[in-house]
Amino acid sequence: MTRRIAVSGAASGIGKSLAGLLRAHGDDVVGIDLKDAEVCADLGTAAGRSEAVDGVLARTGGALDAVVACAGISAARPATVAVNFFGVTELLAGLRPALATSTTPRAAFVGSIAGTRATVPEVVDACLSGRETAALGAADAAAARGEGNKIYPSSKAALARWMRGVCLTGDWAAAGIPLNAVAPGVVLTPMHAAHAMTEEQRENVDKAVPMPLGGYAEPEVIAHALRWLVGVENTHMTGQVMYVDGGAEAALRGRERF
Ligand code: NAI
């Protein structure tokens, strides 16, 4: 059965790998990205998100079986919140009505092990209450006081909490739509230039994200997990962050929290 699936971030890394995997299995993929995709739009702006939603709906006649939001950036600046949080939640919200046409609708996004790390609470709170200008302002203030490294974790922590808040509502579980996340550790994509790291940088990364099982992951590993989450087999899993991280979450949080 051919499924029609929208994938953001489809031009590179995890999204590109997922789009290729889905197509190899006969699915009809509508890629969304800044360039080199079926729908080109900037998910970092409200106008761009509308363009993305309209573009996907126009190409699919308003009928989708799944949406996977992979697009993201990891810069220590406010744009990371715009792309990673609002670029995911608003894309999913905009395309959700198109999922209602499917007998097996599914949605997923890419979180991160970084979502378990220290955040800027004002950024997370503003995201969760849908105040983008305030969220970007709080991220800007964090960067100015030297806490820019908490912006990316904040965007991913907010996403996981947003998911828990909506996954059981009438829009999602009650409408038969599982909504889940895959949270990777370090993945060998252009975002994470691990190939080009110095010995010292590698040591710091390995301390921050210990991956005793298998080391850094290839993007295909994450793509396979996402494919299952949005596949017809996933009838009963929702609201979960699936850590595909070489054991990083278990190493960092131990037995206290899981
Ligand atoms: P990547 O840089 O290879 O791919 C990201 C894609 O998103 C690119 O094609 C880029 O053009 C697109 N994108 C960025 N900003 C956009 C915007 N404003 N509008 C539309 N598209 C935009 O990175 P990668 O590694 O594939 O990242 C995918 C997701 O995985 C991200 O959400 C990232 O936070 C997450 N992740 C990545 C990890 C890694 O180690 N690579 C680890 C944990 C999470």
Evaluate: CB of 188 within 6 angstroms of ligand 1.
no
What pTM was computed for the model? Answer: 0.98
Q: Kindly report the protein residue whose alpha carbon is nearest to atom 44 of ligand 1.
A: 112
| Residue appearing with tokens 């709170």 | 125
Per-residue pLDDT reduced to its tens digit, 8-45: 999 999 999 999 999 999 999 999 999 999 999 999 99
Residue 212 has pLDDT above 90, yes or no: yes
Confidence of residue 149 (pLDDT cuts 50, 70, 90): very high
Give the contacts of 111 (CB within 8 A, at least 6 positions apart): 156, 159, 160, 181, 182, 183, 241
d(CA 228, CA 165): 22
Please name each of the domains of the chain with its CATH number.
4-245 (3.40.50.720)
Biggest alpha carbon–alpha carbon distance for the chain: 53
Per-residue pLDDT reduced to its tens digit, 118-132: 999 999 999 999 999
Per-residue pLDDT reduced to its tens digit, 75-87: 999 999 999 999 9
Report the separation in Å between the CA atom of 120 and the middle of ligand 1, taken as the mean of its atom positions: 21
Q: Identify the sign of the CA torsion 207, 211, 214, 220.
A: negative
